[in-house]
Chain A
Amino acid sequence: MIDQMLQYVFTGLSAGSLYALVALGIVLIYRSTRVLNFAHGDIATVATFVAYSALSQQYSFFVAFGAALVVGAAVGVAFYFGVLVKAQREGANLLGMVILTLGLALIIQGAVVWYWGAEPVALPFPISDTRTYTIGAVVVSQLSLASLGAGLVGSLLLYLLVQKTRLGLAMRATSENLMAAQTLGIPTRMVLGVSWGVAAALSVVAGVFLAPALLLDPFFMLDPFLKGFAAAVLGGLNSLPGAVVGALILGVAESLTGAYLAIQFKNTLAFLIIIVVLLVRPEGLLGKEFKERV
C-alpha cells in the first residue's frame, strides 16, 4: 500500500519536475514583462521537432538537443525584438501583447503542421523508459529518472543565473521596477530579450524530455503547457520558487488522482486547482503583491 503510493508519488514528481521547467519559463516572462506567453508550448514544440529532424539524420543526441535549445531561444528572442518591442512602440496595451503571443502560437502550429505533418511520430531517444532500476520498493525507469534530473538541473541553473550573476541581478531589477532599472543604466530591452530566450530554452528542455513519453505531434505541448500554467498559478505567477513547488505538487496530485480517483479526470484536476486557487488565494502559494486597494 505504502510502497504503491510511493511509486505514484515518484511518478508524479518526475512529471512535476518537467512541468516545473514549463512553469518557470511562464513565470520568468510574466514577472518581467507582465505578458502571459500563450506561445510558450508551441516554441517548445517547434524546437523538439528540430531535434527530431536532427536525430533522424543521424546526428548525435547532444547536437540535436543543442540545436533545439538554440532554435527555441532564437524564436523567443526574435519574437520579443521583432514583434513585441515594435508593438509596444505602436502603443499596444497588455491585452494586445497577450493576443500577439496567441498569434505567434497559431503561426508556429501552422508551420509545424505544414513542415512536419500532423501525424504523430516517435522521437528516437537515447534514454529508454523500459529499462528500470529498483530503489527500495519503488521501480524507477531510466526516463523518469532523467526527467527528474533534467528538471532539477534546469531549475538549479536558473536559480544560479538569477541569484548569483550580474545578469540575474539586472533581470531581478528589471522585473521589480522597469523605470528605475532603466534610470540606473540597465539595458532593459536586452535583459528582457535574454529572459525570453532563457524561458524558451527551459520549455524546450521540458519538450525534449516529454516527447518520448508522449508521442510527438504538433499539439503535444498543449497539455504540459496548460499544466505549467496551472503550476505557475498555484505557486504564484511572479514567484520562481513558487513555480517549482506548484509544479511538484501538481505532478504528485495528478498522479495520485489518476491512481485512486478517476483516471479520465486526471487532466481536469489541474484546472480545478487553478480555479480553486484563484478564488481562495489569487496570489498563489508563494506569490506576493496582487492586492488591489483603493
Chain B
Amino acid sequence: MDLIESYREDLRFARRPIARVLLGLLLAALLGLPWVAPDHLVFLATLVALYSIGVMGQNILIGYTGQISFAQAAFLAIGAFAFGHLRIGGVPFPLALVGAGTVAAVVGVLVGFPSLRLKGPYLAIATLGFGVAVYQVFVNVELLSGGRTGLAIAKLKPLFGLSAMHTQYYVYLLLLALFTLVTYNLVSSYVGRALVAVRDSDIAAEVNGVNLTRYKLLAFAISSFYTGVHGALYAQVLGHIEPQIFNILESLTLFVAVVIGGIASIEGSILGALFVIAVPKLFSEYRELVPIVYGVAILIVLMFEPLGLYGGWLKTRLYFRNWPFR
C-alpha cells in the first residue's frame, strides 16, 4: 500500500524507487534503440512516438473530459497543411510545429462551441460532420491542398552527425517526452480535475464552480493542439501530403487507440499508439484483417477489460506485488 501524505507526494512522477529505476531503464532503452535496431524498426518507433502525441490529445478530450469527437482527421489535416505551408514559406521546424498546433487549436475552439450545447451521440455526429466537411474542403480547394500534386515538405536536416532517420527519431522522442510530461502535469493539476469533474457530471461540476464553457473549450483547444502537432509531425515523416491521407479511417484509428490503450490514462495512450502501429505491421500479409482485429479488440476491451491495455498492466502489476496472496 502506498499512502500519500502530502499533495507534493501525489504529484510525484515515479512514486517508488523501483519505478524510478524502471523508468530510467526504459528511457535508456529508447535512447539506445537506434544503435541496435534496424532502420525500419526505428521508423516504426518514430511513428509510435508521433501517434502517441495525437492519442494523448484525443484521450484528454474523450477520456478525461468525456466529449466524443470524430473530427480528429480534420485536425490532423489542418495541422499537417498549416505545417506544410509554413515550412514552404521558410519558417523553421519548431516554430512551424507550434504554428500548426495553434491553428488547429483555434479551429478546435470553434468546433468546441457546439459541445457546449450537445452531448454524447449528438456531439459525435456534429464532429463527424465537421470532419467530413473539412475533408471535402481540402479535397476541393486547391489553394489549401496544393492541388493534385499535394505539398512536398523538406526533410529534417541531420544534426550532430547522426543519420537523417536517427535525427528524426531523437527529435520525435524528445517531443513525446515533452508532451508526456506536460500531459501528466496537466491532468494532475486543477485543470485536469476540472476536466474529470465535467466528464463525471457537468451539472455537479458547474455547481462546484467549474466554468463549463471555459473548460470544455479548453479541452477542445488542448486536444486539437496535440492533434495538430501530430498532423504536422506525420507530414514531416511522410515528406509529402495530400488530403486523401486524412480520411475518416484516420479518426477511427485514433479513437481505437484511445479505447484499446485505456481511457483516461497517459501510459494507455502510448500503449494504444503502439497497438495501432504494430497491428497493421504484424498483419501486413493480411491487410484486410486489420479492421477485424481492431473491432474484436474493442469488443474484448469493453466487455472484459474496460481500462484497456493499461488496465491489464495494472492488474498484472498488482498480481505480482501481492504474490503469493491474491
Interface, chain A (partner B; CB < 8 A): 30, 36, 83, 86-87, 90, 92, 94-96, 98-100, 102-111, 113-114, 118, 222, 226, 229-230, 233, 237, 264-265, 267-268, 270-272, 274-275, 278-279, 282, 294
Contact = CB atoms under 8 A, between A and B. Distances in A.
B133 A103 contact: no
A94 B68 CA distance: 12
B299 A100 contact: yes
Contact of A271 (B68, B132, B259): B132
B67 to A, nearest CB: 10
B296 interface: yes
Question: Which of under 10, 10 to 19, 20 to 34, or 35 or more describes the interface residues of B?
Answer: 35 or more
A253 B137 CA distance: 19
Interface in B265-324: 286, 288-299, 302-304, 306
B255 interface: yes
Given A95-B68, A107-B292, 11 more contacts: A90-B304, A98-B124, A100-B299, A102-B252, A107-B299, A110-B294, A114-B292, A226-B128, A268-B133, A268-B137, A271-B132
Interface in B116-143: 117-118, 120-122, 124-126, 128-130, 132-133, 136-137, 139-140
Contacts of B66: 95
6 contacts: A102-B252, A105-B295, A114-B292, A233-B125, A278-B117, A282-B122
Most buried by B among A96, A103, A230: A103
Interface of B: 66, 68, 114, 117-118, 120-122, 124-126, 128-130, 132-133, 136-137, 139-140, 203, 248, 252, 255-256, 259, 286, 288-299, 302-304, 306
Contact of B126 (A106, A107, A265, A275): A275
B290 A95 contact: no
A107 B296 contact: yes
B125 A106 contact: no
Contacts of A222: 248
B295 A99 contact: no
A275 B294 contact: no
A30 B140 contact: no
Contact of A106 (B133, B140, B252, B302): B252
A110 B149 CA distance: 30
A230 B124 CA distance: 12
B3 to A, nearest CB: 29
Describe A's contact surface by its main secondary structure: helix
A99 B259 contact: yes
Nearest to B62: A95
Given A110-B290, A268-B133, A103 B140 contact: no
A282 B116 CA distance: 12
Contacts of A87: 302-303
Which 3 pairs across A and B sit closest by C-beta, in order of nearness?
Answer: A271-B129, A103-B298, A107-B295
B230 to A, nearest CB: 21
Contacts of B203: 294
A99 B133 CA distance: 23
Contacts of A90: 303-304
A271 B133 contact: yes
B161 to A, nearest CB: 44
Nearest to B207: A294
Contacts of A100: 298-299, 302
A94 B126 contact: no
A109 B255 CA distance: 16
B295 A96 contact: no
A230 B129 contact: yes
B126 A274 contact: yes
B196 to A, nearest CB: 15
Contact of B122 (A103, A109, A278): A278
Contacts of A274: 125-126, 129
A226 B132 contact: yes
Contact of B289 (A110, A268, A278, A282): A110
Nearest to B136: A268
Nearest to B122: A278
Contact of B295 (A106, A226, A264, A265): A106
